[in-house]
Amino acid sequence: MKGVSLPCGKRCRSEDRRSSRSRATIASRLPVRSILRYGASPLTTPAEPIADFDQNWQGLADDMIATMYAAPGVGLAAPQIGVGVRLVVIDITVGEKDGELIVMANPEILESRGSQSEEEGCLSVPEYSGVTRRPGWVRVRGQRLDGSFYEMEGDGLLARAFAHEVDHLNGRLFLDRLGLLKRDLIVRKLRRRMRRGDW
Ligand SMILES: [Zn+2]
């Protein structure tokens, strides 16, 4: 998920990166993977649950974290880098604050309350955004990379990020949450760009 409420868009990316030592360090140390864009089939395919926690998932998580921070974005789901498993990373501060990074396998929204309608974008649909309705508050259960379960709750941008990333794991994009007219407008533009090879 790309946080459109962030003060910094694409243009100030390099300046922004210099200002955050931790994010820059993480992003430069680990491989940044390319993010799949609208039209790539992993983005519309439901991802598989992670069942085998004996396998080392940390490498994939590290790549996802580096890719999210480098973008920059506030969340990333494994299918966005072409890996069809239910793993998400979220940091609504984009690395600006310690302790805000969330790495969650098999996230599940257990409960949601209220609603919020805000402008939303996605790293897989760069340059486009639209207003979507999301829960105002969510309670989520997921697993750490050692397989242990934990629960979290969040409101505002965090609730939106959870909803957005869980959608990715179910093969859905924020475009599916837009009004029909707005969605058609964006999809028509995207298809035209795909035909031109400009996507
Ligand atoms: Zn997204």
Q: What is the CATH number of the domain that holds 53?
A: 3.90.45.10
Neighbours of ion ligand 1 (CB under 5 A): 1, 122
Residue 1 lies in a domain: no
**Model confidence band, residue 25 (pLDDT cutoffs 50, 70, 90):** low
pLDDT at 5 over 50: no
For residue 11, pLDDT over 50 is answered with no
Is 165 one of the annotated active-site residues of the chain? yes
Q: How far is the CA of 80 from the centre of ligand 1 (A)?
A: 8
Long-range contacts of 101-106 (CB under 8 A, 24+ apart): 101/65, 102/152, 103/61, 103/65, 103/144, 103/145, 104/140, 104/142, 104/143, 104/144, 104/152, 105/50, 105/53, 105/57, 105/142, 105/143, 105/144, 105/145, 106/49, 106/50, 106/142, 106/143
Residue 64 structural domain: 10-196
Count of residues in the chain: 199
Catalytic entry in 96, 119, 153, 165: 165
pTM for this one? 0.87
Q: Give yes or no for residue 20 having a pLDDT over 60.
A: no
For the chain, give the percent of residues with pLDDT over 70: 85
The pLDDT, as a whole number, for residue 160 is 98
pLDDT band at 137 (very low <50, low <70, confident <90, very high): very high
Q: Is residue 2 part of a domain?
A: no
Average pLDDT of 182-199? 97
Average predicted confidence (pLDDT) for the chain: 90
Supply the pLDDT for residue 196. Answer: 96
Cα 159 to middle of ligand 1, angstroms: 14
Supply the pLDDT for residue 31. Answer: 79
Indicate whether 177 belongs to any domain: yes
Q: Is residue 5 part of a domain?
A: no
What's the confidence (pLDDT) of residue 15? 40
Cα 172 to averaged position of ligand 1 atoms, centre (Å) = 9
At 96-118, the pLDDT tens digits run 999 999 999 999 999 999 999 99
How would residue 29 be classed by pLDDT, with cut points 50, 70 and 90? Answer: low
To which H or E segment does residue 188 belong?
A: helix 180-196
Please compute the mean of the pLDDT values over residues 21-34 and round it to a whole number.
68
Q: How many domains does the chain have?
A: 1
- Write out pLDDT tens, residues 43-58: 999 999 999 999 999 9
Q: What is the mean pLDDT of residues 53-79?
A: 97
Q: What is the pLDDT of residue 79?
A: 98
Q: What is the 37 CA–ligand 1 centroid distance (Å)?
A: 10
pLDDT, position 17? 42
